[in-house]
Chains A and B, each alone.
Chain A
Amino acid sequence: MNLFMEVAASGKMISFGENGLTAVLGYAVVFAGLLALMAILYLMGVFFKLRQKKRSEAVLPAALPAKQSAPEPEEPAGEPAPGSAGEIRRFDVPDKEAAMIMAIVADQMGKPLNELRFKSIKEVKKS
């Protein structure tokens, strides 16, 4: 028994014209498919952004008095640190403490700090 006999090539040869047409059409189909998907995702995004906006508008009046008494976020000072992304809002929290809190959270989650996104850090004062 010949275990490794030659295997015939699958399919047929195609002409130059068919070859070019298939390549162009294939690329066009991939583009068209992903562009249509992009449009769907944009529509989805618009819908969810509007929904989010409506919700936050509904919550805002109730939350307004409480917000007035809350401390103002500190402005981020100077240039961001190397490797950082975005900004963080800090409420009565010094730089060093904020950095320490973020490092502890990253360590406990077992994820690198640069893969986490911190939106704000606020000190909760005991009454």
Chain B
Amino acid sequence: MTADARAAEAVTSHGTTPAMLAVEGLVVGYSGAPVIDGMQLRLPPGQVVALLGANGAGKTTLLRTVSGLVAPRSGRVRLDGEDVTQTTVEDRARRGLAQVPEGHSIVTELTVDENLHLGGLWRLPGTKARRAAVDEMYQTFEPLARRRASLGHQLSGGERQMLALARALIARPRVLLLDEPSLGLAPRVVAQLFAILRDAAERTGLTVLLAEQNVTSALSIADRGVVVSLGAIVADAPAEKIAADPALRHAYLGF
């Protein structure tokens, strides 16, 4: 699917096209006012969606509910049409739902190589297949190849985020959730990471939901932008439209 087609579909995303990831009537919250209040969202296969909004808007909670770390009060999560709401985090991961959580997302006591092998554990059975996939990742992420024997806690912030992304991609997931991958990274590193992400999405048909504060960078690689505020979607449009809407940017994105 071309970027234009994806963008066109984004506008009619509540239609009947099969969604790779769907969130239906989702309500999440521990007590009192819900953090996410009746959210509907459908991501067609291969679409890269930037999830935008201020701190506390509900971006992280949405991602954690989709991956299963948080149980919703009501509503459904569907992966490729299949209702996974009642399944565990581990099961969703094995079905091809990958998440790169914010911050501490690598195993710091393991080496770069071991972290990458962990990523391929379920979806690449056999040591040989994993080894090959790991070596392939070293070609995409050259800085990691030089540090393959280093422990996670010896890596710089940029290298850690690179490793987290490589580990998520190695399993050839169907859906990838990323939470603030640009946080604390130099702009040059962000550009590099996002270029790899865009490339992976185009080559493998990966569906991406990217929560970001770095609105400009996120929209530059996204097909579609979804803006959330107080647990509800307030705007859902092709990325370039969101980027060009000064009122929207001023009201919800803070610049």
A and B are interacting partners: no
- Residues of chain A whose beta carbon lies under 8 Å from any beta carbon of chain B: none
